[in-house]
Amino acid sequence: MNRTVLVGLCAITLGAFATLAQAETIRIANHGQAGINAMKSTVARIEKKYGITVEVVEYPSPDKDYMTKLLTELGAGNAPDIFSAPTTAYVADMVAAGYLAPITAEFKAWDGYANFYDVAKQLAVSPDGETYVMPFMLGIQEIYFRRDVLDKAGISTEQPKDWADLLARAAEIKEKTGAYGLLFPAGVSWGTGAFDEGFQHLLVGSKTPQLATEDGKLDLTGEGVKDVFGVYKELIDKDLMPTQPLLGPEPWVIPKYQMFPEGRLAATTCGSWCYIFDWGRESKNPIPDVEKAVGTWTIPGQTGGQYVLANLAAPWGVNSKAENLELAKKVLMEIGSVETQVSYAAQIGNIPASKAAAQDPEFQKLTELLPIHAAAENGVYLKQAAGFATVAEGVARATEALLRKETDAAGAQAILVDYAREILGEEAVK
Amino acid sequence: MVRSTYEKRVARQLLLILSPSLLLLLAFVIYPAVYSVYLSFTNEALTGAAALNPRFVGLRNYSRLLHDAKFWNSLLVTFFFVVGSAIIGQFVLGLISAILLRRNLAFKQLFSSIILLPNAAPEVVAGFMWISMLAGGENATLSRIVMFFGMTPTDWLQTFPLTMIIVVNTWRGIATAMILLTAGLSTIPSEVYEAARMDGANPSQIFRRITLPLMMPTILLYMLISAVSTIAVFGLVYALTRGGPGGATEVISIYIYNQSFTAFQLGYGAAVAVVALAISLVLGIAYVRAMKVQL
């Protein structure tokens, strides 16, 4: 009997030691196969460097579904230690909810900090002045046009000078080739893309280029907002932009993966990844010699000027309720390394936020991204404020009404303002 | 009256046997429902400042509902959806199927299999299957059919969104209607039909004067189950249209989801859910009263 008890006690003691000896685990949320692949080498490096286990928790792929699950878990207090937000627009609201731990001190003390583009550093600063996310990748969008189609029709491929010039070019394309002249993502099905990939690019070159006021409110009643909706309105009413596919459940598929490669759509906003994944070497429907056949314009301003709008692509942050905050912050700094940035650039096509990436041999192989990386130096950005995610949804609803020809520019602005007031309250909207 | 020891023991045993079910009901039905009512009086959110410090806002969410055109739109869409698919589509086709299956039809097994098949596919799979049939362009199934008859193809989910979700939900619900109504039909004694025929009643008179009145309790029960479950339909509509385009198919379940998990306003979403629950309860009470009158 005594012997049995002794053996039992030994087993319990050994079990306890084994548990204690197990490596500490950091849980990372990730979604989309490309994102998971991009993090593989980083995960291995972190495990080796800190002697910990990194558990990658796979989340649903579409951004909306990912955010719903992540926010539900954050609200319930059982979210992973480290996670990303799909775009900058979500960050201020996540900070206001207390989900993110501040990393200002660690980020500034980190040896990679000095090499980051200013625009990335500024985009990472929240309205309260603290930094909560690692701004390691930039999303840079431009207008991509079919140079071959325009050349053949004798249409100028010069950079449009202003909005009027851009719209006139779109009309000329339609008239001479029959193809749609220009696409800006719009509608509810496109999700935050209506804002991130279209609306805000025009807004930064408008008469009222910012939405966030000094006191942290949202000013959606500016003349620029109405004028941006006016551009959509003109494109839609003159049939310069395809509208029917944008009302479907996957609105990007037909215009970007069918119409543009076939030359039935001659110009569209797109991100740096388009040369590689949408129409380039990784595409299922590639355009031959894509870098020659497809040219880029920066987004012109309303009355002139050129704007390279930068966004944070998948900014990563630390859960404020992470069990080991210090360790989680160290892991976050590893995610910000040039190696991870280059891995993301190769897998997803976003632009590294570090200037040092330009010297990385692996990044130099991504010839399509090099000029865009250099242009990030002059990137402009929208100042962040709580409620940007709501604005993005409001823009989606307003542009959907335009797509359905149910309203005009002023009506679309009213839809946006009403939606923001309804969701955020009167006090949050100027 | 003093209960005997035996009765007390039986009561205790019954309570013991029922307690697991009661506990499950409490945990997964009663508690969430009560919590939803509590949430509807707060500004609880999934993100933003309200997620950190939710406040009690009294009846503000309910007063907002009254002025929310999208909420009223979702109620109207839900009304058409329930009437179109549950009350008319599923009931009429279910009744026809039930009557046909009582006869000695050729290929009876095949016919009943076809009717039951929609229930074999999960909601979302069924939704995606229908998307491929109703999509725009010349390759979609329905477009090909209408082109065969010389008509112009269209994107059916964009041009006739509400009609399409009614059609799809009808397709999916015929089997349930058929099973329930077959059970109802089987309770009518064949002697009644024989007597009617001997009295010279024609098939139309037999249906109107015998079948329908005798089936009324089953029909009302079916209407109750069908209306309440159709109000709660989510997956099929979400997969097909996500409530679009422009709110044309935003039934109340989609509206609740959009408020709670797209706009992240849990408090407001809960208020809409409470109203939906109240509507279902009112419907339920109305049907139960009607059934009592019938019985």
Both A304 and A316 in one domain: the answer is: no
The residue in chain B having the minimum alpha-carbon distance to the alpha carbon of residue A63 is: B262
What domains appear along chain B, each with residue ranges and CATH number? 29-294 (1.10.3720.10)
Mutation target vs B (from A247, A257, A421, A427; most B CBs, 10 A cutoff): A247
Mean pLDDT of B43-64: 90
Q: Would A155 be classed as within a structural domain? A: yes
Q: Would A322 be classed as within a structural domain? A: yes
Specify the CATH number for the domain of residue A390.
Answer: 3.40.190.10
Mutation target vs A (from B42, B44, B46; most A CBs, 10 A cutoff): B46
Which has the closest alpha carbon to A209: A299, A279, A297, A130? A299
Count Cβ atoms below 10 Å from residue A400 Cβ, excluding itself: 25
Q: Which of residues A385 and A412 earns the better pLDDT score? A: A412
Q: Would A263 be classed as within a structural domain? A: yes
Tokens for A249?
A: 């459940």
- pLDDT reading at A384 higher than 90: no
Residue A216, pLDDT score: 78
Both A350 and A241 in one domain: the answer is: no
Write out chain A residues lying below 8 Å of B139, CB-based: none
Q: Would A379 be classed as within a structural domain? A: no
Bridge partner residues of A158 (DSSP): none
Both A172 and A246 in one domain: the answer is: yes
Which domain does A353 fall in, by range? 2-135+312-372
Write out chain A residues lying below 8 Å of B246, CB-based: 188, 400-401, 404, 406
pLDDT band at A14 (very low <50, low <70, confident <90, very high): low
Hey, are the CB atoms on A68 and B52 less than 8 Å from each other? no
pLDDT band at B278 (very low <50, low <70, confident <90, very high): very high
Total structural domains within chain A: 2
- Which DSSP category does B80 fall into? H
Q: Would A250 be classed as within a structural domain? A: yes
Residue B150, pLDDT score: 86
Whether the CB of B157 is below 8 Å from some CB of chain A: the reply is: yes
Mean pLDDT of B65-72: 89
Positive or negative, the CA dihedral A245, A246, A249, A250 is positive
Q: Would A254 be classed as within a structural domain? A: yes
Both A219 and A274 in one domain: the answer is: yes
Q: Cβ neighbours of residue A318 under 8 Å, at least 6 residues apart?
A: A81, A82, A100, A101, A103, A325, A328, A329, A332
Which has the closest alpha carbon to A349: A144, A123, A125, A132? A144
Q: Which of residues B223 and B293 earns the better pLDDT score? A: B223
Both A278 and A154 in one domain: the answer is: yes
Count of CB contacts below 8 A, A vs B?
Answer: 75
pLDDT band at A9 (very low <50, low <70, confident <90, very high): low
Residue A73, pLDDT score: 94
User: Does residue A100 contact residue A132 with C-beta atoms inside 8 Å?
Assistant: yes
pLDDT, tens digit, 9 for 90 and up, residues A207-264: 999 998 888 789 999 999 999 999 999 999 999 999 988 887 778 988 999 999 999 9
pLDDT, tens digit, 9 for 90 and up, residues A138-155: 998 899 999 999 999 999
Lowest mean pLDDT among A9-18, A261-270, B68-77, B211-220: A9-18
Closest CB to A188 among B244, B261, B263: B244
Both A42 and A155 in one domain: the answer is: no
pLDDT, tens digit, 9 for 90 and up, residues A263-317: 999 999 998 888 888 898 878 889 998 989 999 999 999 999 888 888 898 899 9
Both A266 and A131 in one domain: the answer is: no
- pLDDT reading at B294 higher than 80: no
Q: Would A377 be classed as within a structural domain? A: no
User: Does residue A313 contact residue A139 with C-beta atoms inside 8 Å?
Assistant: yes
Residue A180, pLDDT score: 97
User: Does residue A341 contact residue A272 with C-beta atoms inside 8 Å?
Assistant: no
Whole-angstrom distance, CA of residue A45 vs CA of residue A119? 28
Whole-angstrom distance, CA of residue B147 vs CA of residue B142? 8
Whole-angstrom distance, CA of residue A51 vs CA of residue A331? 12
Both A303 and A159 in one domain: the answer is: yes
Hey, are the CB atoms on A97 and B45 less than 8 Å from each other? yes
Both A107 and A227 in one domain: the answer is: no
Q: Would A243 be classed as within a structural domain? A: yes
Both A182 and A265 in one domain: the answer is: yes
Whether the CB of B80 is below 8 Å from some CB of chain A: the reply is: no
CA geometry: angle A125, A129, A130, nearest 5 deg: 70
- pLDDT reading at B144 higher than 70: yes
- Which amino acid, residue A20? L
- pLDDT reading at B106 higher than 80: no
At CB < 8 Å, which residues of chain A contact B? 64, 68, 71-72, 74-75, 90, 93-94, 96-99, 187-189, 244-245, 247-249, 386-387, 389-390, 393, 400-401, 404, 406, 422-424
**Of A347, A372, A397, which marks where a domain is finished?**
A372
Both A35 and A113 in one domain: the answer is: yes
Both A168 and A196 in one domain: the answer is: yes
pLDDT, tens digit, 9 for 90 and up, residues B178-235: 999 988 888 888 899 899 999 998 989 998 898 889 988 899 889 988 999 999 999 9
